[in-house]
Structure 1
Amino acid sequence: MDKEPNSVDPAQERTAILVGTAGLERLRAARVLVAGLGGVGGAAAEALARAGVGHMTLLDHDVVAPSNLNRQIVALHSSVGRGKTQVMAERVRDINPAAELDLRSRFLRPEDAPELMAEQPYDYVLDCIDSIACKAALVLAAQQAGRPVISSMGAGGRLDPTRIHVAKLNQTSRCGLAREMRKTLKRLGGQLNYPVVYSDEEAVKGLPHQPVGGDVPGRPRAVNGTISYLPALFGFTLAGYVVKSLLQDLMP
């Protein structure tokens, strides 16, 4: 493998030492979709940008809220109220001005997933969505289009970073989100033997009647507590799996 760190952009010298110039070119040519830019997806998108992934589609309908400040890369006091997609795009461009970004500031309805998959020849799809219906629809559409896909399962209610694993969806345990995903995807006819990031730590349930942010419309509801590092570690693990997969045939 050709390794010439002195012939590359200084911002990628350390990456070139590890993956070589051929690896850098592979990452620069890669097209990756990150669906969901919260605590998990934001960290994944940033890690992919720093690794040199050259084409990213960033999808999220939400705006930054004060309750995001404890864990989300996009969340600063200066970004509260702004769209997560725009904030993430600014961050990525500040890391890698050459990155080509396709921004989708909208909610992904299940029926829209097949069209999204048909729009670009994605080399990898990262599912960082919370909604089961939307997650399952995106994964199913990726599978049917022949696009490699990886999902994040539940990071909420957990504290222990040593309990994070990568496994096939049908090999997970102690994760309620993974259990519901298996049921929904099986009902839709999707494959359950695709990779996911999950924790086998028993989740701590949220306190009842504690709405997030202090001013959430609708009835009080139970929510999952979250800590600063767990969603980011999920996101970095997703990104690491994707980068390794993209470079698999180039590595010794």
Structure 2
Amino acid sequence: MGHESTTAETAYSRLELVWGTPALERLRAATVMVLGCGGVGSNCVEALTRGGIGRLILVDGDEVAPSNINRQAIAFPATVGRRKVEVMTEMVRAINPVAEVVAFDRFVRAEDVEGLMSEALDAVDGQLDFVVDAIDTVSAKLALAQWAEHTATPFIASMGGANKLDPSQLRICSIFDTANDPLARTMRKECRKRGICKLTVLSSFEQPRTLPVSGATMGEPDAEGRRPVLGTASYLPPIMGQVIAGHVIRTLVSAVVDGEL
């Protein structure tokens, strides 16, 4: 225990120099929920852990696949076939042995969101400081956005990163200010239908790249009506996860850090 304590102090000493002791204590006391441990989510969780977050709630119902290796923090030949939340939990504890992890090995479905969030809150005695949506299913993303708005829970959702190559065109903004993002376009339309007035997202403003083989763009069917398998750059989802983690951390410490973050 003494070794773990000394290691933790050393590991976070550089953070303390940036944020100061009160802010670091705020991060250690925070609970952040990340739904989805794929390319964006796994890298976000890693950055949150290295950033000093003391308790994480992880949700994912999938297992590591060979195609995940190009972008997911938990994907290695040795982890293929293992449950994502299990590998993610091991990574968190390997980085910070004193971090608390609550894991839900399940897919996020729209009809289950209320129950899932209630179960998660029960597991952490009602303390939930931030929620990160890093899943792909539109219906579930909308249900999460509705829940967050209704409960006034700090929330950010990741939009599409497939067929995008330029990380400099990533931007944190309102869903209603997005452009050139097919997923965000659908979300905007559905948010208006459902009366969701506020939704912070990370979106790429880059025009989706045309696929060299089929000539189709992201999400568009080919001449025979088939939707293409979407390509993903090795670096973009990890950068998206890191940007979201930065937003979460800066938001959490903003009350105890002087100056503009």
Alpha-carbon offset, residue 115 of structure 1? 2.4
Structure 1 gaps, min length 5: 1-5, 209-218
TM-score, normalised to structure 1, is 0.89
Question: Moved runs in structure 1, 4+ residues, more than 6 A?
Answer: none
How much has 1:117 moved relative to structure 2? 2.7
Alignment of 1:162 with 2:178, yes or no, is: no
> RMSD of the alignment, in Å?
1.9
Shift of 1:194: 2.5
Mapped partners of 1:188, 1:115: distance in 2:
20
State the Cα distance separating 1:108 from its structure 2 match. 1.3
Structure 2 vs 1, CA of residues 66 and 221 (structure 1 numbering), >3 Å: closer, same or farther? farther
Give the TM-score of the pair, scaled to structure 2.
0.86
Q: Mean alpha-carbon deviation: is it higher for 44-53 or for 193-202?
A: 193-202
TM-aligned CA distance change 1:131 to 1:52, over 3 Å? same
Counterpart amino acid of residue 58 in structure 2: L
1:17-69, Cα deviation, whole Å (9 max, x unpaired): 01111111100111111000100000100000001101110000111111111
Aligned residue pairs total 237
Instruction: State the identity as a percent.
Output: 42
User: Aligned partners of 2:210, 2:75: CA distance in 1, in Å?
Assistant: 24
Q: For the Cα contact (< 8 Å) 1:49–1:95, is it kept in 2?
A: yes
Cα distance, 1:139 vs structure 2: 1.4
The 2-side partners of 1:65 and 1:205 are apart by 25
- Partner of 2:71, secondary structure, is coil
Counterpart residue type for residue 177 of structure 1: L
Distance in 1 between the 2:46 and 2:66 partners? 21
Deviations 1:156-184 (A, max 9, x none): 10111111111111111111100111122
Q: Is the 8 A contact 1:71 1:232 kept in 2?
A: yes
Alpha-carbon distance in structure 2 between the residues aligned to 1:164 and 1:85: 27
Unaligned segments of structure 2, at least 5 residues: 1-5, 122-126, 215-224
8 Å CA contact 2:113, 2:144 repeated in 1: yes
SS in 2 for 1:125: strand
**1:5-84 superposed matches below 5 A:** 9-84=9-84
Q: Is the 8 A contact 2:145 2:199 kept in 1?
A: no
